[in-house]
A and B are shown apart, each in its own frame.
Chain A
């Protein structure tokens, strides 16, 4: 069974840099452009009998934003960690994220090493 890292951001620059930062985790990485795209890809992953190790999600995205995504994701996966990677640093927004079911919050711009360390905490 494969465990996937799902990277959700509308910016390809961010997606690619996250993928580069997390390459050494040795897990397969799936990129998604927005929440809906991620849900579709996750449903395919789970359909193949594989699993989600962790999601790294932006908040501000077209079609389906990060908060909506987390809430929807929690309906199909109660326990997998979702780390938010965003420029949003407002307490209110972080609180909304927690309520939706987020597991961690990283503020952009991020250092590759910091991101890797956070992900390592969640994914053993």
Chain B
């Protein structure tokens, strides 16, 4: 419904009310003690006020507020209705009619209203004005708020709700959610000691109370607003504890927590009680908990709860302070790898046993598998560190480098909390630095040039990290001039990478900047040198089993996307057989395994062998040819085809058989073997045999290269 629709409804309502009011006022003159009529008239004024306020007729709203107040005096018996008042009220109705319906030029609306209002005011005396009733002042009147200025603050909030709070349709959780929208809940604890035993538990009652530490930039009034409706009749305590926290870090504070403080925080003891008890404790040398119970200030259950909490805090601190040499973690990871291999061997033995024993052994093995997996995740989580600090160190770098080149550049960091394997973090720093330097040097234009192009004078380089589908992505984005695709193409032709008449996609041209010895900068600058960097960057990232991708738009900027695996040491692998050899395909790359018909196999000029899968041609690779091994099948339609994908490109790998899927511990190969880009490493299988791990990305690159 539109605004004008609302006005129509309001005007209709008004005209009805005005008519009724007129007749009621006149009737009242004759029957001045008819309470029913008095109440009805009051309600009419009240409704007029509410509706005009909502329909946006402020003048009428203020005017009817005075009328309502005046008539309230009649209702309460303070004023006796007489001709004078009746005339005044009828005049008021005439004025409202004029204002809303019969307004015509020459009407002195303001003058009329002024005269009536001043007459009304005479009756009202020093009654409070309309402001009293308005929302914001009402909020202020609830608590004596004092504004404390901006900045971060800490509040300790204790909320003990009435048991029957639910019967007001209020859910305490809703209030806590509101609190979390004001800032960050640093800590929250629930006191469950008041929950009665299960057989006496009334599920419709609330037995919980909360202690919350809130970090926020809002002032206390905002927090009180959250509790507005429950403040008076529930036990709500809001305390500004900024002083306590702002200069000490959180963990330090909790480490000093004594039992007494915990009891205090939970609202079991008051501050005075605690002081007395501590004195008593000094005298008698009893444990505080015992005294509290003896004095009947708390139940043993409450004390136990508090002690438990104290214990939890202690443990947390111990974990926080453990420092380990990272090589110990690497050793652990290696050992775990050996366990995985050992388990695989046990699985094999289980296969050879008779059915019953096999079943029993396998059952035990499955639970062992689960534990190993969890174990691995735990070690991984220790090895994972946020990338934030690595990103942060570039702030200074960007500032210095851009200044030395006379450019204005801001560095923006996103996703600093994204965690990566420590080894990856250590090795990603240099490539990142190189790419950022390139962005500053070649990507972002000078302020003058940017202004000419209608861009903001300062350039922005964004570093962004995020998780997606079992990988970590790092984006380096600049809003500079973008890569000069034509120039790169020319250079690629000069270098003989492509022929001048060849049709090459933009993506492929851009990827040439990763080629060794490629630099399009006409003049090598002090910083970027002569392009010895990007190929090294790419190699470094590929050593981490990652990949790099570039997207660029001329005049708008460049995005370099690095994709890295979450873990370096263990992958989920698919075991396949070719002849007598076992090979491993990383499961993340596998899309599906299919059998094809003879007619779906074709040889295409320039592309080699392809297979047709659901209308799409996919290059086929024969592993036995690639590695020079024997195979059972030579016809693609006799064996199986594993369809894999890397960076959006698909490949069909011809195999003899699928063996299964398992966790694979990667062992790196010496450099003389790993020169083949189709292999990323090897692993030891359960039966002690060595299996090579295929590098799908490298394989696709190699095929493209040939």
Chain A residues in contact with chain B, CB under 8 A?
Answer: 9-14, 16-17, 19-20, 54, 58, 60-62, 74, 78-82, 86-87, 89, 95, 98, 101-110, 114, 121-122
Contacts and interface: CB of A to CB of B under 8 A. Distances in A.
Contacts of B229: 98, 102-105
A10 B61 contact: no
B233 interface: yes
Contact of B133 (A58, A87, A102): A87
Contact of B174 (A86, A108, A122): A122
Contacts of A17: 6, 54-55
A77 to B, nearest CB: 8
Contacts of A20: 1, 6
Interface in B168-217: 168-170, 174, 178, 204
Interface in B135-185: 135, 138, 166-170, 174, 178
With most chain B CB atoms within 10 A of its CB, the pick from A17, A80, A95, A102 is: A17
Given A16-B1, A78-B167, A103-B169, A109 B53 contact: yes
A62 B37 CA distance: 12
B51 A11 contact: yes
Task: Give the top 6 A-B pairs by smallest Cβ distance, nearest first.
Answer: A109-B53, A81-B169, A103-B169, A13-B51, A13-B10, A11-B51
A122 B177 CA distance: 11
B135 A110 contact: yes
B697 interface: no
B40 interface: yes
B43 interface: yes
Given A14-B50, A60-B43, A98-B229, A109 B61 contact: yes
Nearest to B1: A20
B167 A12 contact: no
A110 B135 CA distance: 8
B6 A108 contact: no
A87 B169 CA distance: 22
A35 B10 CA distance: 21
Given A60-B43, A98-B233, A105-B229, A122 B169 contact: yes
Contacts of A9: 50
Contacts of A122: 169, 174
A80 B134 CA distance: 27
B49 interface: yes
B138 A107 contact: yes
Contacts of A86: 50
Contact of A101 (B13, B138, B167): B167
Nearest to B14: A13
Given A104-B229, A122-B174, A14 B54 contact: yes
B202 to A, nearest CB: 12
Interface residues of B, number: 35
Q: Is the interface of B mostly helix, strand, loop or mixed?
A: helix
Contacts of A58: 50
A60 B133 CA distance: 15
Contacts of B178: 121
A79 B204 CA distance: 9
B109 interface: no
A12 B109 CA distance: 27
Given A16-B1, A16-B6, A89-B138, A109 B50 contact: yes
B47 interface: yes
B9 A13 contact: yes
**Of listed B47, B166, B167, residue having the most chain A CB within 10 A:** B47
B243 interface: no
B105 interface: no
B132 A78 contact: no
A82 to B, nearest CB: 6
Contacts of B233: 98
Given A81-B168, A89-B132, A102-B229, 5 more contacts: A13-B9, A14-B50, A19-B1, A87-B53, A104-B229
20 contacts: A11-B13, A11-B47, A13-B6, A13-B10, A16-B1, A17-B55, A20-B6, A54-B169, A60-B47, A74-B167, A78-B166, A78-B204, A87-B133, A89-B132, A98-B229, A101-B167, A103-B229, A106-B135, A109-B50, A109-B53
Nearest to B181: A121
Contact of B54 (A13, A80, A103): A13
A81 B174 CA distance: 12
Contacts of A60: 43, 46-47
B314 to A, nearest CB: 37
A102 B53 contact: no
B49 A87 contact: yes
A12 B51 CA distance: 8
A101 B134 CA distance: 23
A16 B61 contact: no
A108 B167 contact: no
A61 B47 CA distance: 9
A94 to B, nearest CB: 8
A14 B169 contact: no
Given A13-B9, A98-B229, A89 B133 contact: yes
B170 A103 contact: yes
A81 B165 CA distance: 11
A91 to B, nearest CB: 8
B43 A62 contact: yes
Contacts of B13: 11-13
A105 B169 CA distance: 13
B508 to A, nearest CB: 49
A54 B174 CA distance: 14
A103 B168 contact: yes
A120 B652 CA distance: 53
B169 to A, nearest CB: 3
Contacts of B132: 89
Contacts of A12: 9, 12-13
B135 A13 contact: no
B134 A107 contact: yes
Interface in B1-46: 1, 5-6, 9-10, 12-13, 40, 43, 46
Contacts of B55: 13, 17
A109 B51 CA distance: 8
Contact of B169 (A80, A108, A114): A80
A81 to B, nearest CB: 3
B180 to A, nearest CB: 13
Residue among A80, A103, A108, A109 with the most chain B CB within 10 A? A109
Contacts of A114: 135
Nearest to B175: A121
B34 to A, nearest CB: 15
Which among A13, A74, A122 has the highest number of chain B CB atoms within 10 Å?
A13
Nearest to B39: A62
